[in-house]
Chains A and B, each alone.
Chain A
Amino acid sequence: MTPPTPSAAAPLEVTDETEKKSITSDGSKGSESRSPGQLAWRRFKRDRTGVISAIIVIFFFVIALAAPLIAKLYGKDPYTTYGLNTPGLLGDNGFPVRPNGGMSPDFWFGIDPQLGRDVFTFLLYAIRNSLLISVAITLFVVVLGVVVGVTAGYMGGKTDWFFGRVIDILLAFPQQLFFVAFTPVVVSLFVPDNENTPTWLVVVCLVGLLTAFGWASIARLLRGQVLALREREFVEAAKVTGASPARIIFKELLPNLWTPILIQGTLTLPAMVTTEAGLAFLGVGLQDPTPDWGVMIGYAAKFYQDDITFLLFPGVAMVIFVLAFNLLGDSMRDALDPKTKR
């Protein structure tokens, strides 16, 4: 029992230290000065939920980026059907012989039924692909939303009216139905019937469609923010000194918009992860054998009544990731916008 005691005491000491530091630095308000960003970072560091969520999220991104490296060290790949190649791994009914989905020192998370692929590497690559797609969509959504929202808000008048109606229509659209119905249509525009659809095309279509429907809410939010900001006197002060509209947007308004942009971005990404997985599950996104969270869950759903292990790994991983990312978004909002009380 002796070893755990110092480790338990250590974090306590650390928190005490940070507390002390914050007190002393608050007291000595000499020439030191903090930007709103630095203040937010200090608030964020004190929020334990936020820090833990951030660590989990970073962990997921690291394993997604390092997936090929991990797979190489681990010595397997997600495409080889180990179960079919090596006798004795899968039983006659197509399920792994060993218990718990065939977990063993060789196959840490087991192998999947019928094909006998390695679940661990498959999950790694699934996370990698899903996150890559979601990050791409989120980036496009945020950039498009910021450009349209800020332009509409700052220009006002007819521009604002036009974008406002476009946003109304997009937000009124039944998006999920649209994706399910139209993804195959869009894909078939580029690919003749008798040919196989290349994976990159599916990815491009997914990113395009989800971006086209995703930017509306962030644009509307930013438009409102800009409408409030542009009447502030510091914008008039910049105009009096002869600032160009570009300078006012980028130097005066945008620094005040980073908070909503960051918050919306962190809330959009997990939503895109689940949407993308949902589409793959429904069969309109990425297709088996391309590793993907949704593909994996869809494949596992066929067998979950007989063995739930295959569903458990992607499912739990996804729940943890989305939950952590959402909590991270909440913590970021609290840190950046201390006036919002919950």
Chain B
Amino acid sequence: MSSTTPLLDVSGLTKHFPIKGGFPIRRTVGAVQAVDGLDFQVAEGESLGLVGESGCGKSTTGRLITRLLEPTAGKVSYRGQDITHASRKELAPIRSEIQMIFQDPYASLNPRHTVGKIISGPMEINDVNPPGGRENRVRELLEIVGLNPEHYNRFPHEFSGGQRQRIGVARALALEPKLIVADEPVSALDVSIQAQVVNLLQKVQKELGIAFVFIAHDLAIVRHFSQRVAVMYLGKIVEIADREDLYDNPRHPYTRALLSAVPEATVDAAPRERIRLVGDVPSPINPPSGCRFRTRCWKATEKCATEAPPLVQADGNKPGHLTACHYPEMRDTVPAPRLSKDPEAAA
């Protein structure tokens, strides 16, 4: 595979959920524009973080990539192969390469199956016969994710949330995938357990060279985990950049506001400016014209209402740092918000 072809290439990805209504004949009266024209790439072995507040379309994006949902428009290609509208049979060879880790460890494991059955299920479906048998492979996987291989015959209800999420990770690893979509894999867990699971995922990513699409709303965890980060707002990517670039030099006002809202863990940190966003997120049924963030943006002008800003490399950005704003923030206009997880910035 040439290095120019990204592992996953998403362009113009759109998902509108129709709203049915009317009596006596039900017809489509509107659409929830959950995801509207996403473009991004994921390289082999890379981790892309997808952040944004609730309802901005992160999870929908994850489900579109794994083809749990049918895209309304746009294109998803995996290693150059178009899988946007592939049927179940056509997807079969790719299924083993794209796996998913789910948010709720209590809902994502079938309560009537043993751990062994849950983890060997993907192998059974795809008729994978590892050397040494499936049971051995499952025990191996349990060891990789830090569980006791003796737990093979146990049921999910005998495990804690963190352990269950490890089982979910083991299931995702069972087919030796090249890409894992992790849909808020730690947000349902205790903070003390979150770090363990994130470290496990990081170990997996480094040792097995698996690419990740890491969906989260916790900026600190994304910073810890992802080499590249995309910020979403109301179904669109507003900014995408390398980790350091994005956290040090956020160009989009929304990114800046998000970063400024991260709580400070250091007690004696110098007080910093916190950008308060006013108002609510507009409804994705009827999003604002032009720039979708304009209703809450302190810099919005006439232009923002009429013209949707394209996702481009703004002046002074490094290559690969794309911002969708007519008036990108400058590094020096506002003191750059600092992140609690970074001791140098906090000092």
Contacts and interface: CB of A to CB of B under 8 A. Distances in A.
A and B from one assembly? yes
Interface in B125-176: 125-126, 150-151, 153-155, 157-158, 168, 171, 175
Contacts of B113: 255
A236 B68 contact: yes
A299 B193 CA distance: 72
Interface in A181-199: none
Nearest to B155: A35
A255 B171 contact: no
Interface string B66-96: 1010000000000000000000100110011
B103 A241 contact: no
B90 to A, nearest CB: 11
A233 B126 contact: no
A260 B319 CA distance: 59
Contacts of B175: 241
A33 B153 contact: yes
A36 B155 contact: yes
Given A33-B155, A241-B122, A242-B126, A234 B108 contact: yes
A225 to B, nearest CB: 13
Nearest to A37: B112
B111 interface: yes
Contact of B109 (A31, A234, A247): A234
A73 interface: no
Given A241-B121, A242-B88, A234 B155 contact: no
Given A35-B114, A255-B112, A240 B95 contact: yes
Given A234-B108, A234-B109, A243-B125, A33 B99 contact: no
Interface string A231-245: 011101111111110
Contacts, number: 74
A247 B125 contact: yes
Contacts of B96: 241-242
A244 B68 CA distance: 13
A236 to B, nearest CB: 6
Interface in A238-295: 238-244, 247, 251-252, 255-256
Secondary structure at chain A's binding surface: helix, strand, loop or mixed? Answer: helix
Contacts of B104: 233
A342 interface: no
Interface string A160-204: 000000000000000000000000000000000000000000000
A236 B68 CA distance: 7
B102 interface: yes
A228 B175 CA distance: 28
A258 B153 CA distance: 20
A265 B96 CA distance: 40
A239 B68 contact: yes
Contact of A241 (B107, B125, B154): B125
B110 interface: yes
Nearest to B106: A233
Find the residue from B110, B121, B150, B151 having the highest chain A CB count within 10 A. B110
Contacts of B154: 33
A233 B112 contact: no
A194 to B, nearest CB: 52
B135 to A, nearest CB: 15
A341 interface: no
B237 interface: no
B234 interface: no
B10 interface: no
A339 interface: no
B100 interface: yes
A244 B88 contact: yes
A241 B88 contact: no
Find the residue from A237, A244, A247, A251 having the highest chain B CB count within 10 A. A237
A233 B125 contact: no
A238 B100 contact: no
Contact of A233 (B88, B98, B108, B121): B108
A34 interface: yes
Interface in A208-237: 232-234, 236-237
Interface of A: 31, 33-36, 232-234, 236-244, 247, 251-252, 255-256
What are the 3 tightest A-B residue pairs by CB atom distance, in nearest-first order? Answer: A255-B112, A242-B95, A233-B108
5 contacts: A31-B150, A232-B108, A238-B125, A242-B88, A244-B88
Given A241-B175, A244-B88, A256-B111, 4 more contacts: A34-B155, A233-B104, A237-B109, A242-B125
